[in-house]
Every structure is written in C-alpha cells, then in structure tokens.
Amino acid sequence: YGCTGLTEIVIPASVTSIGGAAFYGCTGLTEIVIPASVTSITGYYDGWSYWGAFEGCSSLTRVTFAEGSQLTTIGAYAFYGCTGLTEIVIPASVTHIGDYDEWEEYTYGAFEGCTNLTSVTFENTTGWLVITEDWWAGQDEADISSEDLLDPANAATLIRNTYSDYKWSRSE
C-alpha cells in the first residue's frame, strides 16, 4: 500500500489471491506478472469505500497473466485509475469482473479510470452479461455479444467507458 518507490515485484506461485489495497497507490510499479495460481484479485470495502488491489498504480503499463491462469475474479476497482495501462488480456478462466456491494446496493467496475486502456483481449468471448444496480435507479443488465468482444479496441471501449461501472459476469 502506497509504496511509491516499488517498481517491480515477483509474486510467488504459492499465492492464490491478491487482496484489496495490496498495491494501492504504488505509483512506481510498472509491470506485474500474475502467477497461474492466483484465482482472485479482490477489492476491499472498509465500510466507507472500496480499495482496489492495484488502484492508483498510474505507472503500471503491463499486466501479464501466466500461462494456465486459474483466475476467476477481477474484483471491484482492481485496476482503478491505472492510467498507464494501455492493453490487457483477460484469461479464459475469468468469470467475474467488478463487483456488487449488497450493503450499498451499488456496482463497482474493475477498470474505471483506466483512461488509456485501448486494447482488451478476451480469451473467452462467450456468455458475458453486464449488471449494474444502485439504490435509486434499480437494476439494469445487458448481454454482451461475442462479436462485440472479438475486437480488442471495441472491448476496451465497453469495459473502460460504456459498462465501466458494471459487474461483468460470464456463464460457463
């Protein structure tokens, strides 16, 4: 948390989860390799707001998921404000992006504020649904067609802008 001088880190293969605020505000971090053993990158809710695992890592330009990734969840605000991030590949194993907070009755995206994210490659483009809910507007959901996710530039627009504050869920 807040390690501004941290530029790189090796996450051991024994790690299965990267928790909320783990690397929050590590503005010097430029690249991260997520080992295949990691199944979730989560957000942390402190009763007031969410804290994403890599939130505010503004120099982060490359996120690589190791071959054979078992990642299923990229949680709330996981990469919020990672303005240096221009591209990412979402592993085929991922079934949830973002989160829904039942207490606040609000959805939180994983890539909000990633203003330079222009390429998102989904290794599995089928079965995606986006859901948003807040206490005054109610729930809204939409199916995302596989065709819409096949083009990395279009997928980036959807995840960064159109459905940035939605929870993404994929049926298996």
pLDDT tens for each residue of 146-155: 999 999 999 9
The 10s digit of each residue's pLDDT in 10-29 is 899 999 999 999 999 999 99
pLDDT band at 3 (very low <50, low <70, confident <90, very high): confident
Tell me what percent of the residues of the chain surpass a pLDDT of 90: 72
3-state secondary structure the chain: CCCCCCCCCCCCCCCCEECCCCCCCCCCCCEEEECCCCCEECEEECCCCEEECCCCCCCCCEEEECCCCCCCEECCCCCCCCCCCCEEEECCCCCEECEEECCCCEEECCCCCCCCCCEEEECCCCCEEEEEEECCCEEEEEEECHHHHHCHHHHHHHHHHHCCCCEEEECC
62-85 confidence digits (pLDDT tens):
999 999 999 999 999 999 999 999
